Each structure stands twice: as C-alpha cells, then as structure tokens.
Amino acid sequence: MSSIQSQFLDLNVHHAKYEAIDPTSELKDSAKDKVIFIAGASRGIGQATAVAFAQAGAKAVYLTARSEAALQETRALVNRANPKTLCGMSPCDVTNARQVEAAVADCVAQFGGIDVADANAGFLGPWMKIGESDPESWWRNWDVNVRGAYHVARFALAHLIQSAKKREGQGRSGGHLVLLSSVGAQLLMPGASDYQTSKHALNRLCEFVQVDHGDDGIKCFALHPGGVSTELGLNMPQALHAYLVDNPNLPASFTVWLCSGKADWAKGRYLSANWDVKELLSMKEAILQNDLLVNRLRARA
C-alpha cells in the first residue's frame, strides 16, 4: 500500500480523535447556534459526525438516510450527547432530487437555516474489472457518490450562503459544505474503476463549488475520512481490511474542525482526516502558494 502513502502529505497521522479536534474540549461550543444537515447519518461516520456536532454545541442537527429506524438510533445518540441540541430527521435517498430538496426545506422550516451541510452518503459495490463489471452496479457508485453529493450541494447552497453572510456579520465563520471523498480518488487499483473515478470526480466537484460560490462565502472541502471499518469499507477486497484501523470519531471530529473556521483557508481542497491539523496549519503558506491538494494534470517533469 505504498501507493496510498505517496498520496499523503508528510505529516504525522492519527487514527482516532485527539485534543486539537476534540469537540468536547478544544472545539467545545464551536458549533454553537449552528444548524447541521447530514446526509447519510444513519450509521458509521455520518452517525459519529452527528454526535460530534452535538458535543460541539450545535443548535440543531438534521439527519437523513434511507432507513428511518436507523435514523432513530442516531437521534437517540445525539440526544444523549447533548440534550440541548435539537434533532430533526427524515428518510431520504440522496439520488432522488425531490427527496433531498424536501429534506433541506424541512430542516430550514424547523430550525431556521443551515450552517453546515455534510454529504456523507456513499456507495461501494463489489470490485470487478471493467470488462466483467455489472453496468447497474458500476453506475450506482456515481449515482450515490456524485449525484447524491451534487443534490445536497444544489439544495443546501442557498441556505449556506445565507449562513456565510450572517456569520460574517457576527465575526464568525459559516457556510461550510463537506463532501465525503476517499484516498481512492487518487489511486488506480484493479477492479475499483467505479468507486475511485466517482471519488475523483467528487474532488473536482468540490473545486467547482468553490469556483462558483467562493465569492458568496462558501467553504467546501473534499474529505478522506481515513480507513474506517464501516459497512461500505468492508465491501473492499478482504486483503485491504487490515487498513481499516481508524475510529469513526476521527473523521467526525475532523469535520467539526473543518467547520469551525480554523480551516477556511483550505477551502476547495482535498484533505485527509488522518493528517495532524497543527502540522497541516504549519503548511498553509506552502499549500496555498503551490496550489496543492487539488486535481491537476502534470505536464512537466
């Protein structure tokens, strides 16, 4: 897996939350008065993210996923993490534009706006070579990973823009959009053409969100959540399961950090939850000056 390591900045890595991104200490109250919309919140990383924002003092967390019963479980965890955080929910398939639009509208109707939108829903089917692949399964990756993220962005952006303007007037940061990416976006692994190309496209979508709406105050990030042993991650070939060593509270807490304002300078870029944030901050000037962590074609040696 040395090819994976070559895609990482030369930073210390973490596998679980730590002080600098801990929503119960360093980031306590960083989400105060904010409304968080999470797609794919029924389990795994999305569920942990909902809990992390509650711990960080969110005014409200709005949960969507296809399973209503699983959403009820997440809501119970949110209530336990912070009884003061309001929690709404609705069953929603991110591939259905009207359902996403309705969920966003319901969130705004209940809680008055959206400050953070987290497009966390994802799909990974069996890995197969292109010539042996099932067309429906191949395109399902794009349907969920790209179309789903686009739908969340499309219908949340107007409210995120309002948040950015409102928070700027308060001297705070708002208008954050997080798209769940993967280190797979940077790799070429046999049999993974559907998943890895969809995540590569999602990184580019993040850049386009920033190009189109950066002047509106939007801060968009494409986030590699680390190797978490989720239901999706376990769909990878058995040989790769040994790399699923990260706790879901790592990407959850990293997402809270991204949306705290501390990472606004890195908007429009691909970031890994494994990277130590203090070391990442020390590279800020180099990253900006050399336009790192974006998709580009290298045409010169």
Say if 234 falls within a structural domain: yes
Confidence of residue 274 (pLDDT cuts 50, 70, 90): very high
Say if 67 falls within a structural domain: yes
Ramachandran sector of residue 175 (left: φ over 0; alpha: ψ -120 to 50; beta: rest): left
Domain count for the chain: 1
| Residue 238 scores a pLDDT above 80 | no
pLDDT for residue 3 = 44
Average pLDDT value for residue range 216-244: 80
Active site residue 270: no
Assign residue 10 the CATH number of its domain. Answer: 3.40.50.720
What is the spatial distance between Cα 191 and Cα 36, in angstroms, rounded to a whole number? Answer: 35
| Residue 5 scores a pLDDT above 70 | no
In a 13 Å sphere around the CA of 40, the CA atoms on its Cβ side amount to 26
What are the C-alpha distances in Å from 209 to residues 138, 186, 195, 217, 266?
25, 20, 21, 11, 13
| Residue 99 scores a pLDDT above 50 | yes
pLDDT for residue 229 = 66
Say if 133 falls within a structural domain: yes
Say if 125 falls within a structural domain: yes
Tell me which residue range forms the domain holding 196.
2-289
pLDDT for residue 218 = 98
What is the spatial distance between Cα 26 and Cα 37, in angstroms, rounded to a whole number? Answer: 22
Of 17, 199, 219, 262, which residue is the catalytic one? 199
Mean pLDDT score of the chain, rounded to an integer?
93
Q: How many residues does the chain have?
A: 301
| Residue 1 scores a pLDDT above 80 | no
Say if 298 falls within a structural domain: no
Average pLDDT value for residue range 184-197: 92
Average pLDDT value for residue range 259-288: 97
pLDDT, greater one: 85 or 240: 85
Amino acid of residue 230: T
Q: What is the pLDDT of residues 49-96, one digit of tens each?
A: 999 999 999 999 999 999 999 999 999 999 999 999 999 999 999 999
pLDDT for residue 231 = 66
pLDDT for residue 297 = 83
Say if 181 falls within a structural domain: yes
Average pLDDT value for residue range 154-167: 97
Confidence of residue 236 (pLDDT cuts 50, 70, 90): low
Q: Which two three-digit tokens encode residue 166?
A: 């409102």
Average pLDDT value for residue range 162-176: 95
Active site residue 195: yes
Residue 58 CA from chain centroid, whole number: 17
Average pLDDT value for residue range 103-119: 98
DSSP calls for the chain: -HHHHTTS-S--B-SS--GGG-TTTTTTTTTBT-EEEEES-SSHHHHHHHHHHHHTTBSEEEEEES-HHHHHHHHHHHHHH-TTSEEEEEE--TT-HHHHHHHHHHHHHHHS--SEEEE----------GGG--HHHHHHHHIIIIIHHHHHHHHHHHHHHHHHHHHHHTT----EEEEE--GGGG---TT-HHHHHHHHHHHHHHHHHHHHHGGGT-EEEEEE---B--TTGGGS-GGGGGG--B-THHHHHHHHHHTTTTTGGGTTEEEETTB-HHHHHHTHHHHHHTT-SS-------
CB-based contacts of 296-300 (< 8 A; 24+ apart in sequence) = none
Instruction: Report the percent of the chain where pLDDT is more than 90.
Output: 83
What is the spatial distance between Cα 60 and Cα 114, in angstroms, rounded to a whole number? Answer: 9
pLDDT, greater one: 240 or 10: 10
Say if 299 falls within a structural domain: no
Of 195, 219, 267, 270, which residue is the catalytic one? 195
Q: What is the pLDDT of residues 28-48, one digit of tens each?
A: 999 999 999 999 999 999 999
Say if 300 falls within a structural domain: no
